[in-house]
Chains A and B, each alone.
Chain A
Amino acid sequence: MEALLAFTRPPLDWHALAPELTLLAVGTILTMVDIIWDEKSKQVMPTLAGVGLLAVLVPIMTLALDGTDRAMFDGAYVVDDFALVMKALFIIIGYVIVLMSVDYIRDGDYYENEYYTLMLTSLLGMLMMASSRDLISVFVALELLSIPAYMMAAWRKGGRRSNEAGLKYYLMGVFASAVMLYGMSLIYGLTGSTSFSGIASELALDDSATALSILGVLFVLIGFAFKVSAVPFHNWAPDTYEGAPTPVTAFLAVASKAAGMVALIQLVFVAFDNHEVIQPFFWLIAALTMTIGNLIALRQTNIVRLLAYSGIAQGGFMLVPFAVAGQASERALQAIVVYLIIYAFMNLGAFSVVLAVSRKTRSGELESFGGLFQYAPGLAVAMTIFLAALAGIPPAGGWFAKFGLFRALLDAGGAWAATLGVVVAINTVIAFAYYARVLGQMWFQPIHEGDERPVKLTSALGSALVIALVATMAFGILPGLVGHFGEVAVLSTLGF
Chain B
Amino acid sequence: MWMLENAFLIPLIPALSFAVILFFGKRVIGSGRVHLIGITAVSLIWVLSLVAAFQWTQRVEHPSSDAIAQISVDDHGDDHGDDHGDDHGDDHGDDHGDDHGDDHGDDHGDDHGDDHGKAAMHSESGHGGGHGSALISPVVTSYSKWWSNGGVDFAIGTHVDGLTVLLLVVVASISLLVHIYSTEYVKGDRRYVHYYAFLSLFTAAMLFFVMAQNIVQLIVGWELVGVCSFGLIGHWWEEKPNTDAALKAFLTNRVGDIGLLVGMIVLWGTFGTFSIDAINTAISASPGTQHFALLVAACCLMAAVASKSGQFPLHTWLPDAMAGPTPVSALIHAATMVVAGVYMIARLYPVFYDGFSIGTSSINLMAFIGGFTALMGAGLAFAQWDIKKVLAYSTVSQLGYMVMALGVGAWTAAIFHLFTHAFFKACLFLGAGSVSHAAHHTFDMRKMGGLKKFMPHTYWTFVIATLALSGIFPFAGFWSKDEILLGAKVGQQSGYPLMLIFGCAVAFMTAAYMTRVVWYTFHGEYRGHGHPHESPKVMTVPLWILAGMALVGGAFNLPGPVLKPFGLEGLAHRVQTYAEPSVYLSGLGLSHPDPSLSMALIGLGLALSGIIVTYLYFWRNMGPKGLTERNKYAKAGYTFLENKYYLDYLYNDIIVASIKKPIANSANWFNQNVLDKAVNTAGESARDSGRWIYKWIDQGAIDGSVNAAARGADTSGEGLRTIQSGKVQNYGQLLFGAAAVLAIVFVIVI
Give the B-binding residues of A (Cβ under 8 A): 167-168, 171-172, 175-176, 179, 208-209, 211, 214-215, 218-219, 222, 226, 232-233, 235-236, 238-239, 276-277, 280-281, 284, 292, 295-299, 430, 433
Q: How far is the CB of B327 from chain A (nearest CB, A)?
A: 59
Contact at B713–A433, with CB atoms within 8 Å?
A: yes
Once the chains are docked, how many angstroms separate the CA of A232 from the CA of B742? 11
- Secondary structure call for the A interface: helix
Please, what's the 1-or-0 string for B716-738, where 1 marks a CB less than 8 Å from any CB in chain A?
11101101101010111011101
Q: Is the CB of A171 within 8 A of B713?
A: no
Contact B713 A298 (CB under 8 A): yes
- Jot down 17 A-B pairs with beta carbons below 8 A, ordered by A: A171-B728, A172-B735, A175-B732, A175-B735, A209-B750, A214-B743, A218-B742, A218-B743, A218-B746, A222-B735, A233-B734, A235-B723, A235-B734, A239-B724, A281-B742, A295-B720, A430-B713
CB atoms of B735 and A232 under 8 A apart: yes
* B residues near A233, Cβ cutoff 8 Å: 734-735, 738
CA distance A296 to B731 in the complex (A): 16
Which of B710, B728, B732, B739 is A218 in contact with, Cβ under 8 Å?
A: B739
B90 within 8 A of A: no
Given contacts A168-B728, A236-B731, contact A296 B717 (CB under 8 A): yes
Which residue of A214, A238, A276, A299 contacts B714 across the interface (Cβ within 8 Å)?
A: A299
Cα of A253 to Cα of B375 in the assembled complex, Å: 89
B-chain residues with CB within 8 Å of residue A239 when the two chains form the complex: 724, 726
A residues within 8 A CB of B731? 168, 172, 235-236
* A297 CB contacts on chain B under 8 angstroms: 717
* B747 close to A (CB within 8 Å): yes
Q: Which residues does chain A contribute within 8 Å of B721, judged by CB atoms?
A: 296, 299
**Residues of chain A contacted by B749 (CB below 8 angstroms):** 280
How many A-B contacts at CB < 8 Å in the complex?
Answer: 83
CA distance A180 to B714 in the complex (A): 35
Query: Restricting to B367-420, which residues have a CB under 8 Å from any CB of A?
Result: none
List residues of chain A with CB within 8 A of the CB of B738. Answer: 222, 232-233
Given A295-B713, A299-B721, decide whether A214 and B750 contact each other with a Cβ distance below 8 A: yes
Out of A175, A179, A214, A238, name the residue touching B746 (CB < 8 Å): A214
In the bound assembly, the distance between CA atoms of A167 and B717 in angstroms comes to 26
A318 CA to B354 CA in the complex, in Å? 73
How many chain-B residues does the 8 Å CB contact rule pick out? 26
Complex Cα gap A214–B735 (Å) = 17
Q: Which listed residue, A232, A235, A276, touches B750 by the CB 8 Å rule?
A: A276
Which residues of the other chain, B, contact A299 by a CB distance below 8 angstroms? 714, 717-718, 721
Contact of B732 among A171, A215, A292 (CB under 8 A): A171
Chain B residues near A277 (CB-CB < 8 A): 746, 750
Query: How far is B742's CA from A284's CA once the two chains are assembled, in angstroms?
Result: 10
- Assembled-state Cα–Cα distance A113/B716 (Å): 44
A222 to B734, CA, bound (A): 12
Interface contact B747-A219, CB-CB below 8 Å: no
The residue of chain B having its C-beta at the shortest distance from the C-beta of A430 within the complex is: B713
Q: A residues within 8 A CB of B734?
A: 232-233, 235
Which 9 residue pairs across A and B have the least CB separation, nearest first? A235-B731, A295-B717, A298-B717, A232-B738, A299-B717, A211-B747, A276-B750, A168-B728, A233-B735
Note all chain A residues with C-beta closer than 8 A to B736.
175, 179
Q: Are A281 and B746 in contact (CB under 8 A)?
A: yes
Neighbouring B residues of A167 by C-beta, 8 Å: 728
Q: A219 to B743, alpha carbons, bound, how many Å?
A: 8
Q: Which residues of B contact A296 (CB under 8 A)?
A: 717, 720-721, 724
Q: Is the CB of A214 within 8 A of B747?
A: yes
* B716 proximity list for chain A (CB < 8 A): 295
Highest count of chain A CB atoms <10 Å: which of B710, B721, B749? B721
Contacts of A172 in B (CB 8 A): 728, 731-732, 735
A235 adjacent to B713 (CB under 8 Å): no
- Alpha-carbon gap, A235 to B730, bound state (A): 9
A215-B743, A222-B739 given; name 16 further pairs at CB < 8 Å: A168-B728, A168-B731, A172-B728, A172-B732, A179-B735, A214-B743, A219-B743, A226-B735, A232-B735, A232-B738, A236-B731, A276-B750, A295-B716, A296-B724, A298-B713, A433-B713
In the complex, what's the smallest C-beta–C-beta distance from B749 to chain A, in angstroms? 8
Report the minimum CB–CB distance from B717 to chain A (whole Å).
Answer: 4
CA distance A433 to B713 in the complex (A): 10
Closest chain-A Cβ to B59's Cβ sits at a distance in Å of 69
